[in-house]
Every structure is written in structure tokens, then in C-alpha cells.
Amino acid sequence: MPPFLPYGRQSVDEADIAAVAAVLRGDWLTQGPAVAGFERALAGRVGAAEAVACANGTAALRLAYTALGIGPGDAVVVPSNTFLATASAARHAGAEVAFADVDPDSGLMGVAEAEAAIARARHAGWRVRALAPVHYAGQTAPMAGLGALARAEGLAVVEDASHAIGSVDLAADLAADGETPVGACRHGTLTVFSFHPVKTIAAGEGGAVTGNDPALMARVRRLCNHGMMRDPGPGEGFADPEAALDGAGAPNPWYYEMAEPGFNHRLSDIHAALVLSQLGRLDRFVERRRALIGRYAARLAPLAPLVRPPAVVPWCRPAWHLCAARIDFAAAGRTRAAVMTALRGLGIGTQVHYIPVHRQPYWRRRYGDLDLPGALAHYAHTLSLPLFPAMADDDVDRVADALERVLA
Ligand SMILES: *Cc1c(COP(=O)(O)O)cnc(C)c1O
């Protein structure tokens, strides 16, 4: 039998290994030149003024919400089709989560779904502060419309781009230069990334926040490191300049101030070296993922209408993170569990992205049973098929053939 195909897998090469080994031989295991180098490279790659690297995508979300001053009494609009963390991080900040429905085919939150969630949140008496669109599977949420909605309502936008490093927003409405990489925050306030091994580039554990507002990014950076300030950020000064500054007006080397309690959400140099090395291959990874999705589209076409490839939206050029196929399990007369088990027996791993977050026991206890039919419909038909850069073209054929057999 050919080797097992997981639904996702990192691609680590000898250059990655050498980069990590070089850190281990050097002077800095954390917060050294690899972290700083990665932050510069990431900001440059996505076209943001600044990037702050952090421990994981969940930490990035928490830093973003907290830096925006989101807390008790506030609400964040989160699509129900996402990983737990988009919502949990808002709750940890003390905020309520206004779950939004999604398009059942693309799994993305649109403007109408966000508007409905805002209305529900206001009805509940919450002060809506931010939209947190999720670029599910690597396709962008409709950012032109969501950005306009946020501006009209006075909301921040935190893009959860855990799936979407390398994706490009075609931003048809923006005459200027047309195309915007995800992370540039053209329509949003902050963007967060995850570098978990199943995502497009891997740190092991890692994340980042990108943005363009210097004061906001200074706050993200400070919160990431205990709320400590050694150098005043833009537009700030030390509260106690007499203690902070030496005779020449420079900060004393031992001095730090805490204006608010922060976290230790730092990234280590060991992880940063790996993800910096991986970032250099991002274009190749993205190109390979696109080619594999193209082959899936062709090879799954004959299985319609039982199986349909991922729904494609027109406003982006995605760096596909998932191949979220749509399968009519009822029409096939098979449960999803039976299909997944049969595929596993043929050496093929699959996964489900996602159980709608609003259905989790914690959120049901808190908010009762919300009516989000798009999220339930998406959940009912979604199955993530293997997708990672080291896959061969005939691996796609193998998956399509196996699906045909299992569903026959
Ligand atoms: C992976 C993921 C996260 C969390 O990232 P971690 O690095 O695992 O903490 C958040 N949101 C989405 C959509 C994700 O896929």
C-alpha cells in the first residue's frame, strides 16, 4: 500500500534544519536576531508597516483584541465556521462573542451575516467593537464590503488569516493598485497569522500580528512581553522620566516600566529561524497548493453532484490551506464517519473544518441555541481532503479514486 496521506503536513528541508541548528549554536535562544529578522521579512512579504511575532495564532488573537482595548461589555463578531480560538481569545479578553453565520458553500462570513450578528449583539445590549473575519481555507472573506461596514459602524477589523498567508485580495473596488496581500490590513486594523505545522508555513508553534498603526502595534509588542516598556513607543513617554533617563536623556539600561499587565506570548528564536526559513519558500508552497487544488477540481468533477470541489469566490487569489470538498453524504447513503473510516482504510486521512463554534457546550450554555443555518449546512457537507506541498499529482488521483469507490 502507498504511504499514508495525512490531510495536511509540514515540508521541512535541510535549509530549515540548518537554520534552526545555527540558532542552537548561537547566543540567542529567544528574542534575538531570528525573531527580529522574521518580523521584518513577514512585514515586507505581506506589505504591512510592522509585524510582531508571537507564540501561536491564539496568542496573536488575544494580543490583537486586548491591544484594541476590547474587554467586558464589548462584543466581537466571529463567524461560527472557524477554529475555537477566534472566539475563545475574545472571551479571554472579557468580551462577548457575536457569532455570525457563513455562506454554506464557501464557509465565509459575508456582509449580510456580519450585519445580522451586529444587530443581535446590540439587541443583547453589547457594545460591538470589532469584526473578526476568518479567511477560511485560504480564501479571503469579502474584505471590501466588511471594511466598509466596519468604517460605517466605527468598528475595528481583526482578520484571522491563520489559513491565508500568501493569499491575495483582488480588491476590485480599490482602483489604486488592485491587489493586496493578506496581512497588509488595507481594509482592516490588524491581521493575525498562525504557523502551526498544518498551516502553510510552520514554526512548530508560532504566530504573528501585522498592522500599520504605530501606536497600536507598539501596544501589541508591549502586551506580548509583560507590558514592559524599555523605550517609549510613538507618541508616548516614560511616566517617571527622572528614573528612566540618564543624564544625556537616553533610557537607563536597567530601566523598564509597566503601564498595563501583559503576557509572555513571545516567540523563541528557535521557532523564528524555522518559520523565517520557511517564509523563503512560501511562493513555492502556494504555487504547489494551487496546482493541487486545480487537479482536485478536475478529478472531482466527474463525481458531481455527490462530491464537489471547494467553492471558489471571485475576489481573491487564494493560497489554499485546505481542500474543503463538499460531499452530499445523505444522497450517497453514507455517514461522514463511515466515509472517513473507509478512506483511512485506503491510506487517506481527512478532517472536518469545522464544527460550528456556536454549537460548543460552553457557548450554548452562555447564549443558548443560535439559529445559524449556513454554518450548520457548511458543517454537514464539508470534508477536508489531503493538501500539502509534497503531494504528487497522482496522490490527488488516488484520493479521487478512493472517494469514488467509497461513495459508490
Ligand atoms: C490554527 C488556527 C488558529 C489558532 O492558531 P494556533 O497557532 O494553533 O494557536 C486560529 N484561528 C484559525 C482559523 C486557525 O486555523
Q: Each residue of 86-112: pLDDT tens digit?
A: 999 999 999 999 999 999 999 999 999
Where residue 173 falls among pLDDT bands split at 50, 70, 90? low
Taking the C-alpha atoms of residue 208 and residue 194, their distance in angstroms, rounded to an integer, is 7
Give the model's pLDDT for residue 259. 87
The verdict on the CB of residue 56 being under 6 Å from ligand 1 is: yes
Give the model's pLDDT for residue 252. 92
The verdict on the CB of residue 167 being under 6 Å from ligand 1 is: no
Residue nearest to atom 5 of ligand 1 (CA): 57
Catalytic residue at 204?
no
Taking the C-alpha atoms of residue 8 and residue 193, their distance in angstroms, rounded to an integer, is 17
Q: Once rounded to an integer, what is the mean pLDDT over residues 160-164?
A: 98
Give the number of other Cβ atoms within 10 Å of residue 365's Cβ: 8
| Averaged confidence pLDDT in the chain | 96
Where residue 232 falls among pLDDT bands split at 50, 70, 90? confident
Atom of ligand 1 nearest to the CA of 82: 13
Where residue 236 falls among pLDDT bands split at 50, 70, 90? confident
**Structural domains in the chain?**
14-279 (3.40.640.10), 282-407 (3.90.1150.10)
Q: Convert the pLDDT of each residue in 182-197 to its tens digit.
A: 999 999 999 999 999 9
The verdict on the CB of residue 79 being under 6 Å from ligand 1 is: no
The string of DSSP codes covering 319-352 is ----EEEEE-HHHHT--HHHHHHHHHHTTB--B-
Give the model's pLDDT for residue 177. 58
Which phi and psi (to 5°) does residue 123 adopt?
-60, -35
Q: Convert the pLDDT of each residue in 255-308 to its tens digit.
A: 999 989 999 999 999 999 999 999 999 999 999 999 999 999 999 999 999 999
Asked if the model's pLDDT at residue 175 lies above 50, the reply is no
Residue of 102, 160, 274 with the most ligand 1 atoms within 8 Å of its CB, for mutation: 160
Residue nearest to atom 15 of ligand 1 (CA): 162
Which of 136, 12, 11, 17 is closest to 388 using CA atoms? 11
8 Å CB contact between 110 and 141: yes
Taking the C-alpha atoms of residue 209 and residue 220, their distance in angstroms, rounded to an integer, is 8
Asked if the model's pLDDT at residue 174 lies above 60, the reply is no
Give the model's pLDDT for residue 249. 87
Asked if the model's pLDDT at residue 61 lies above 60, the reply is yes
Q: Active-site residue among 199, 221, 378, 381?
A: 199
8 Å CB contact between 317 and 168: yes
Residue of 54, 76, 83, 158 with the most ligand 1 atoms within 8 Å of its CB, for mutation: 83
Q: Once rounded to an integer, what is the mean pLDDT over residues 11-31?
A: 96
Ligand 1 mean position to 232 CA, how many Å? 31
Atom of ligand 1 nearest to the CA of 61: 10
Secondary structure percentages of the chain, helix, strand, coil, to 5: 40, 15, 40
Ligand 1 mean position to 85 CA, how many Å? 6
The verdict on the CB of residue 82 being under 6 Å from ligand 1 is: yes
The verdict on the CB of residue 207 being under 6 Å from ligand 1 is: yes
Which of 71, 72, 149 is closest to 117 using CA atoms? 149
Give the model's pLDDT for residue 1. 77
